[in-house]
Amino acid sequence: MADKITPRATDYSQWYIDIVLNAKLADYSPVKGSMVIRPRGYAIWERIQAEMDRRFKETGHENAYFPLLIPMSFLQKEADHVKGFKPELAVVTHAGGEELEEPYCIRPTSETIIWAMYKNWIQSWRDLPLLYNQWANVMRWEKRTRLFLRTSEFLWQEGHTAHETQKEAEEEALRMVEVYRDVVERHLCVPVLMGMKSEAEKFAGAVHTLSIEAMMQDKKALQAGTSHYLGQNFAKAFDVQFQNREGKLEHVYATSWGTSTRLVGAVIMTHSDDKGLVLPPSLAVDQVVIVPILRNDSKVAVIAHAEGLLATLKAAGVRARLDSDDSQSPGWKFAEWEMRGVPVRVEVGPKDMAAGHVMFARRDTGEKFTVPAGEIGTKAVEVLEAIQKNLFERAKKFRDDNTHVITNYDDMKAFFGLAGEDAAGTANAKGGFADALWCGDAVCETRLKAETKATIRCLPHDRQEGIHGSCALCGAPARHRAVFARAY
- Interface residues with its own copies (CB under 8 A) are 27, 29-31, 34-39, 42-43, 45-46, 62-71, 74, 86-97, 104, 106, 113, 116-117, 120-121, 132, 136-137, 139, 141-143, 152-153, 155
Contacts of 311 (CB under 8 A, 6+ apart): none
Determine how β-strand 69-71 pairs with β-strand 26-28: unpaired
Cis peptide before 129 (omega within 30 of 0): yes
Cα–Cα distance list, 356 to 305, 353, 381 (Å): 11, 5, 19
Going by C-alpha positions, the residue among 427, 432, 461, 458 that lies closest to residue 445 is 458
Q: How far is the CB of 147 from its own copies (least distance, A)?
A: 13
Burial of 209 (0-12, 13-18, 19+ CB in 10 A): buried
Q: How far is the CB of 336 from its own copies (least distance, A)?
A: 14
Nearer to its own copies, 36 or 443 (CB): 36
H/E stretch holding 218 reads none
Nearer to its own copies, 88 or 178 (CB): 88
Nearer to its own copies, 9 or 36 (CB): 36
Distance between CA atoms of residues 338 and 276, nearest Å: 6
Question: By three-state DSSP, how is residue 318 classified?
Answer: coil
Amino acid letter for position 63: N
Contact 206, 230 (CB under 8 A): yes
Q: How far is the CB of 224 from its own copies (least distance, A)?
A: 20
Nearer to its own copies, 285 or 335 (CB): 285
Q: How far is the CB of 274 from its own copies (least distance, A)?
A: 25
Contact 59, 129 (CB under 8 A): no
Q: How far is the CB of 279 from its own copies (least distance, A)?
A: 16
Distance between CA atoms of residues 254 and 130, nearest Å: 9
Q: How far is the CB of 139 from its own copies (least distance, A)?
A: 7
Nearer to its own copies, 141 or 334 (CB): 141
Contact 143, 71 (CB under 8 A): no
Nearer to its own copies, 325 or 375 (CB): 325
Q: How far is the CB of 71 from its own copies (least distance, A)?
A: 6
Q: How far is the CB of 285 from its own copies (least distance, A)?
A: 9
Q: How far is the CB of 74 from its own copies (least distance, A)?
A: 8
- Taking the C-alpha atoms of 129, 130, 131 and 134 in order, what is their torsion angle to the nearest 10 degrees? -170
Going by C-alpha positions, the residue among 196, 146, 200 that lies closest to residue 488 is 146
| DSSP-derived secondary structure letter, 59 | T
H/E stretch holding 376 reads helix 376-401
Nearer to its own copies, 33 or 191 (CB): 33
H/E stretch holding 471 reads none
Nearer to its own copies, 66 or 433 (CB): 66
Contact 429, 452 (CB under 8 A): no
Distance between CA atoms of residues 213 and 223, nearest Å: 5
Q: Count Cα atoms within 13 angstroms, Cβ side, for 358.
A: 27
Nearer to its own copies, 16 or 148 (CB): 148
Nearer to its own copies, 70 or 395 (CB): 70
Amino acid letter for position 466: G
Q: How far is the CB of 460 from its own copies (least distance, A)?
A: 34
